[in-house]
Structures are given as C-alpha cells and as structure tokens.
Amino acid sequence: MLNSIVEAEKNFRDLLKEQNAYKESIMLTAWDMRTKIPRKSVEQRSEVVGFLSEKLHQLETSEKMRYFIDVLKEHSTDETIRKTVEECKEKYERNRKIPADEYKEYVMLQSKSESIWQEAREKNDFSMFQPYLEKLVDFNQKFANYWGYDDHIYDALLDNFEPGITVNKLDQVFPDLRKSLTELLDRISLSAVKPDPSVLEGHFPKQDQEAFSLAILKKMGYDFASGRLDETVHPFAIALNQNDVRVTTRYDESDFRSAVFGTIHEGGHALYEQNISEKLANTPLSDGTSMGIHESQSLFWENFVGRTESFWNSHYDLFKSYAPKGFAKVPLERFYRAVNEVKPSFIRIEADELTYPLHIMIRYELEKGLISGDIKVGDLPGLWNEKMQEYLGITPPTNSEGVLQDIHWAGGDFGYFPSYALGYMYAAQFNHTLKKEINVDQQIASGDFAPIREWLSKNIHQYGKMKKPLEIVKDVTNEDLNPQYLVNYLTEKYTRIYEL
C-alpha cells in the first residue's frame, strides 16, 4: 500500500506540473496582451488562450484528477499533498459544473473584451464595449447558478476571490465604514488647513520616473533576477512562477504619483509571490490565498510604508536626484502633505487613501446589481455617475474617467472589487499587529525594509494557499476582521495633516 501511495503522489505531482505548463503559457500570453501585443493579433491570440485554457480545464476536471483526489485525500501523510488535494478538489468540483465548450468560449471572450475595452476607453465609447460586457455578465450569472449559492447569487462569485466572505458580511461592514469615512471627509473639507498640491506640478520625464521606481523596488527587496518592470494601460503584477514575477506601471509625465505609488503597490503584490515557500512550487498552493490578502500586501507597501512621513524623510533626497530641478526648492513637509492630500478624484487607482474605499463600494454595489439582474449594462454609465456624485460629490466628465476606467469587468472578474476594500482593512489590522513587534516607523526612516518584509513573509507570504484568508487574519492578529483599525489609522493620520 505504501509503495502505491508513493507512486500516486509522484504521478499526482507530474499531473500538476503538466497543468502548470499550461497555466504559465496562459499567464505569459496575458502579460503580452496587456503590454506589448500588436492590435491586429488580438483575435488569433484570443484563440490561442482559448485552446490552452480548454486543455487546462480538461486536466483539472479529468478522471485522472478525480482518481488522485480520491486516493490521496485518504491515504497521503504529506501535509502539502493533502492541502493540494483539497485545493484541487474545490477546483474540480466547481469546474466540472461548467461545460468545457462554454468555458472555452468564455475565456476567448475575456481576451477579446480586454482589447475592446482598451480601445473603448481610448475613444471614450462605452457602446463599443457594451455588447461584450453584456455577454460577460450573462456568463457570470450562468456560472454562479452552476456553482450554486445559499443566500445571494453574488456569493458564488465572491467565493472565487475571497473564500468566507459573503454579501451579508459585506453589507454589514461597508455601511459603517462608509459612514466613518464620509464623516472624516466632511471634517477635512471644513478645515482651513490645506496641503498645496501645486508643489508637485511640473514635467517629470518618463525615463526618470522609471529610474526612481526601479530604485524603490530594489529597496523594497524585489528580486529583479526573478522579475521585471514594464509599462501598461492598467497596472498589474503577474506571477508566471516564483522565479518570474512581473510588475507593470503607468507613467503620467504631468503627475509622477501614478507611477511611483502604483509601482510600490504592484511591488507589494510581487513580494508576496516571490516569498511563498519553495516547497509549494508547482502546486496550486503556490499562489496568494485570496485577492483580499494579496491586496493587503500591496496596500501595506503603498500606504503604510510609501505614503508615510518616515518614508519620505529617508527617501526624499533619492527622489530629488531623479526629479525635475524644481523639487529641490520644495520643503519636505510641504511635499509630504501634498502627496497625502485628500481630494475626491475620478480615477480609482489615483485616489487618496481616505476616498479609495468609497470607489470600491460604488463598484461593489453596481456589479452586485448586474449579477442579480437588478441593473442592466446599458444603464451603467448613468448609474456610475450618480453614485460618484452621491459618494464623492463629483461627476466624471467622460466615460473614460468613469465606467470605462477599470479593466476588471472586461476580464470577467466579477466578485473581485470587494477584495480591494477588504485588503485595506486587512492591511490596517496587520499593521497594528506588526507595530507591537517592530518599530515600523524607525525601520522605514532608516531605509531598511528587511525586518518588515521578513515579518510579512514569515506570517503571511510563505503559506501561499496553505491557509484560508480569514484564517491568516486570525492567526496573525488574534482576532477576526476588524474595520476599526483602518478607521483609526486614517483618522489619526489626517487629523495631523489637516490639523482637525
């Protein structure tokens, strides 16, 4: 019996390697389509993605996979194998419910939709994208019904990105968070003390922004022997494997903040992937446990490190060595306050720390309505603008700055957006715990991020998917999700900056 289990484990690992070959090919194609691809080749490349995805789907739902699940879940004594089997079993049962031809059609639609979305955004033409989005919504409604749910159809999609989180949970947390944030925003708007954003103005050449971004990634501990930095329309990080984790950013020569903070953000994602335990390599466990935990890492680095006074105390001279000469005359205090200005904005990825979660709540409410059938795709531009006015007091002048700004719906990622707000709450909770063990401000001020990175790797990164998201939160902080840490952090920070 022992020999047969050892043989089964070996064959199971071989099957996983075969799956990973397809996954890596698909991810590399996705990176290429978002960064380098000639527009005329999108149609054919989408067919390639569809073919590869169909093959991967067949392996994940094969009788061979079913055999290994049945045998190894009962008899393997290897913890990594057992956890891997659990992960494969969840995927097997979900994917078996989707007909292979529908899955292939959906994957091809995703690839085409992302390209059409990019063109529609450039042309400010929602009508170009609308028919693709309608099909994506239809597919996601159909898949959610295949998978099944207890209370709300949207729960079936949330489970893809944040296991353990439901509409009921979000509808308890988000209203209170929104109330706290809007009250603080109102207090800030009444303050006579205002940062001066004009000190950040001026032409900042792309190549110089890139040089500074590369320098900061290196200081964060990003391994360039296992990654690279590229330019894209909508920034993302992508892990082909632990030795190839790529970061992208977007440059705006009139506003360096987009690239600098965007690069730090994506670098946080990359550090997570680069520091997953090597023993999980070539298994489905070699990945972030959820998009919320992943987002906690990127937002931790962007906000709880990159936007702090300690960070700029130690990195302002480095910044000025790459920045236009005009910054040499800007005092550090004025610069720090300016990069932390609170001002409602149209673009989510350019939002300040305080208003950022409000952007997420808008998207959550809209896509929840789309999936439940309460909202029609054609009504999205108007509803988007109404909610922007209600939540942030501003109305986007164009759809490119409104409903067309994010790539997520074009990629079919319904259920993803709540992870951003959840990740922000997780990050604040992790930060609170970390500060009990390490003098975080002192480490940031010294420019030595290694102890912080090592703490994150020890407590979060190394586990990959060995632990569920809420399990990690509980293990690290000794309590369940607690949004009050985020409220406390923002209140304390902006009370100082705006002298409330």
pLDDT of residue 350: 87
What is the token pair recorded at 89?
């079993």
Report the chain's mean pLDDT, rounded to a whole number: 95
* Angle subtended at Cα 291 by Cα 131 and Cα 257, rounded to the nearest 5 degrees: 85
Cβ atoms of 217 and 259 within 8 Å: the answer is no
Residue 4: pLDDT band by 50, 70, 90 thresholds? confident
* Separation of alpha carbons 7 and 5, rounded Å: 5
Quick check: 42 pLDDT over 90?
no
Pairing of β 237-241 and β 244-249: antiparallel
Quick check: 2 pLDDT over 60?
no
Among 60, 114, 162, 266, which one carries the catalytic annotation?
A: 266
Closest among 301, 283, 299 to 291, alpha carbons compared: 299
pLDDT of residue 349: 87
* Separation of alpha carbons 366 and 9, rounded Å: 45
pLDDT of residue 253: 96
Quick check: 1 pLDDT over 60?
no
State mean pLDDT over 70-87: 93
Residue 46: pLDDT band by 50, 70, 90 thresholds? confident
State mean pLDDT over 207-212: 98
Quick check: 233 pLDDT over 90?
no
pLDDT of residue 117: 95
Helix (H) or strand (E) holding 231: strand 229-231
Give the DSSP letter string of 240-256. EETTEEEEEE---TT-T
Annotation says 266 is catalytic: yes
Alpha carbon separation from 252 to 210, 233, 255, 314, 333 (Å, rounded): 11, 11, 5, 24, 24
What is the token pair recorded at 109?
């639609």
The model's pLDDT over 121-134, given as tens digits with 9 standing for 90+, comes to 999 999 999 999 99
Quick check: 465 pLDDT over 60?
yes
| 294 annotated as ligand-binding | no
SS3 239: strand
Strand order in the sheet with 244-249: 229-231, 244-249, 237-241
Helix residue ranges, H only, 99-241: 100-123, 126-147, 153-161, 167-190, 206-220
| 269 annotated as ligand-binding | yes
The model's pLDDT over 259-304, given as tens digits with 9 standing for 90+, comes to 999 999 999 999 999 999 999 999 999 999 999 999 999 999 999 9
Alpha carbon separation from 329 to 256, 326, 333 (Å, rounded): 17, 6, 12
pLDDT of residue 110: 92
Portion of the chain with pLDDT greater than 90, in percent:
94
* Separation of alpha carbons 469 and 475, rounded Å: 10
Helices vs. strands in the chain: H and E counts, helices first: 20, 3
* Separation of alpha carbons 139 and 149, rounded Å: 16
The model's pLDDT over 396-431, given as tens digits with 9 standing for 90+, comes to 999 999 999 999 999 999 999 999 999 999 999 999
